[in-house]
Amino acid sequence: THTKSIVTEATYKASGIAVDTIARRIFWCDSLLDYIETVDYDGNYRFLVLRGQQVPSPSRLALFGDRVYWSDSTKQG
C-alpha cells in the first residue's frame, strides 16, 4: 500500500472527516478553530467552507448530495 500526506499544515484539532467519492474531495472540521475545510484527493484546491460563528465547535461531518452537515457541541441548532 502507498500512503500520501494530503494536508500537513494548519489543522489543529480535526474532529470530523467526510469523503465525497464522486467529487473526489475530503472535508474535515476543526473544533478548536471553528471551521470546516475541504481539499481534493491530490491535496490541491483547498478552501474554507465555513468558519467562526456559522460553525461553532464542529465535531462531526456528513455529506449528502451537494450538502455538508455537521454537529456541534453548542446545542445552538
Q: Mean pLDDT across the stretch 2-19?
A: 83
Q: Could you tell me where the DSSP H helices lie in the chain?
A: none
The three grid cell numbers given for residue 15, joined into one nine-digit string: 474532529
Write down the pTM of the prediction: 0.86
For 18-76, what is each residue's pLDDT tens digit?
999 999 999 999 988 999 999 999 999 999 999 988 888 898 999 999 999 999 877 65
> Which residues are CB-contacts of 44 (< 8 A; sequence separation ≥ 6)?
none
